[in-house]
Amino acid sequence: MGTPFQRGQWTGKLGFILAGAGSAIGLGNIWKFPYMIGVSGGGAFVFIYLLAILLLGLPIIMSEFLIGKSTQKNPVGAFKILSPNKPFWLVGAFGVICACIIMSFYSVVAGWSLHFIYEAVLGFSGGDGEIQGIFGKLYENGLANCFWHTVFMLFCVGIVVGGIKDGLEKYNKILMPALFLILILLMIYSLMTEGAMRALSFLFKPDFSKITPQVVLDALGQAFFTLSLGVGTMITYGSYLKKETQIPSCSFTIVGLDTVIAIMAGIVIFPIVFTFDIEPSSGPGLIFSSLPVLFSKIPFGYFFSIAFFVLLFFAALTSAVSLLEVPVAYLIDEWKISRRKATIGVGLAIYLLGIACSFDNFGIFGMSFFEIFDKAATNVIMPLGGLMITIFAGYFISQKVKEEYFPDSWKPLLLKVYDVLIKTITPILILIVLIAKIYELF
Ligand code: TRP
């Protein structure tokens, strides 16, 4: 770790790509993406989502890496360096607070994956109804949620205390390839079920009449969430980049991996959904209430069920640590607090917020804290943060700084495309989403 206040760095390109992909690939890909496809009617949603990744996701992730790498600072410090004496650092401060809020409910959902590992080890047995009911029972049981949230937070704090090379990078290097492998095995299995063909055409034959404004909004929101954008996660990860690591190629790889894993998750889930006549539009409970039923019926189901929920836990863990790293980096850089103290302190604060999210009947205005945090994050916080970042990257970072971070071989074309997107199309798209989302909220 070196001296307490010295900043760490990724060992190189591979370490950075795996960590960035680790942050991006999470519950968003494996839990949220399939159920959103189901709710929004299949291929049309997938099509818009892919467009959103290209037009919104790529330019914003590149901007966040650019801001981080060029300053080697946390989100607050980065804005202060790039634009001194202007209030842009508030965008960073907003991000630091929001990362804590997102992490608090993310940890509760991640706790569900731990509970399901436990259930999987015991074995899913009994009638279909009984197995499907496990999720509902867990959801209503605040104390159980609290317990698994506690366990999950301990894992996160343990990893982040280790720092960049010995914590974040080391674990991502093991967990990400493991996740990929398990997903491939499950995918092969799924593709051999009789519902496979129907699932593939559901996913990849878009029915364009199903594209409604709501589908577009959901797809754009999903693109934000899945790439960890808008709260400074990728600024922070970019700040640990070495000089020689190139932003554009790393961004393409990370976004590509995230997209591939999301699509693979779809290919795992939907053949099963169609084979066993599960309702595709059954919502957030889709994977938790349907997959265990499947696992109770298939050969080697015991093994697959444990593998699947362990995979979900890995994916959530590598994302959650990237959220935790945002406030930790801020405290280390700006307040000169040691990594250990910063991690334990913020971890504790997030832990308490998460406890409030563990009880579905605990909240204000008739909504649980879980719902409030979740809705605020996906509908308002992330788009707003993303909008500020694009405007900043488009109009307040000098052309000279940008040129420096695009490798010569790609520069002329890539920089031009990036500039056009970041200055016009991307912010306009976000603005539309943001306004529509706020409108929908009230
Ligand atoms: N991208 C992660 C997922 O798909 C979640 C995540 C990590 C995130 N960091 C974030 C979401 C920052 C929003 C903002 O599960």
Whole-number Å distance, alpha carbon 24 to ligand 1 midpoint, is 6
**338-396: pLDDT as tens digits:** 999 999 999 999 999 999 999 977 777 778 888 888 878 877 888 889 999 999 999 99
Residue 126 CB contacts under 8 Å (≥ 6 apart), including other chains: none
Number of neighbours of residue 124 by Cβ within 10 angstroms: 21
- Pocket probe for ligand 1: among 261, 322, 324, the residue whose CB has the most ligand atoms within 8 Å is 322
- Pocket probe for ligand 1: among 94, 106, 172, the residue whose CB has the most ligand atoms within 8 Å is 106
Residue 211 CB contacts under 8 Å (≥ 6 apart), including other chains: 44, 47, 48
Lowest mean pLDDT among 108-112, 250-254, 292-296: 292-296
- Over range 411-437, report the average pLDDT: 88
The rounded distance, in Å, linking the Cα atoms of 332 and 3 is 12
Phi, psi (degrees; rounded to nearest 5) at 363? 180, -165
What integer pLDDT is reported at residue 6 of this predicted model? 63
pLDDT above 70 for 4: no
Helices (H) and strands (E) in the chain, counts: 22, 2
**299-326: pLDDT as tens digits:** 888 988 998 899 899 899 999 999 999 9
- Give the nearest ligand 1 atom to 26 CA: 15
Percent of the chain with pLDDT over 90: 59
β-bridge partners, 363:
368
Number of residues in the chain: 442
Whole-number Å distance, alpha carbon 224 to ligand 1 midpoint, is 8
| Structure token pair of residue 101 | 């809020």
- Give the nearest ligand 1 atom to 29 CA: 4
Whole-number Å distance, alpha carbon 4 to ligand 1 midpoint, is 27
Angle, helix 58-71 to helix 247-275, in steps of 10 degrees: 140
Nearest CA to ligand 1 atom 8: 228
Nearest CA to ligand 1 atom 9: 228
| Structure token pair of residue 106 | 């993310």
**161-210: pLDDT as tens digits:** 988 888 778 888 888 888 888 889 889 888 998 999 999 999 999 999 98
pLDDT above 50 for 2: no
- 1: pLDDT confidence band, cut at 50, 70 and 90? very low
The rounded distance, in Å, linking the Cα atoms of 176 and 359 is 31
Ligand 1 pocket by Cβ (under 6 Å): 23-24, 26-29, 102, 225-226, 228, 231, 233, 319, 322-323, 382
pLDDT above 70 for 83: yes
For residues 24 and 319, is the Cβ–Cβ distance under 8 A? Answer: yes
What integer pLDDT is reported at residue 381 of this predicted model? 84
The DSSP line for 33-57 is HHHHHHHHTTHHHHHHHHHHIIIII
**29-46: pLDDT as tens digits:** 999 999 999 998 899 999
- Give the nearest ligand 1 atom to 224 CA: 13
What integer pLDDT is reported at residue 3 of this predicted model? 43
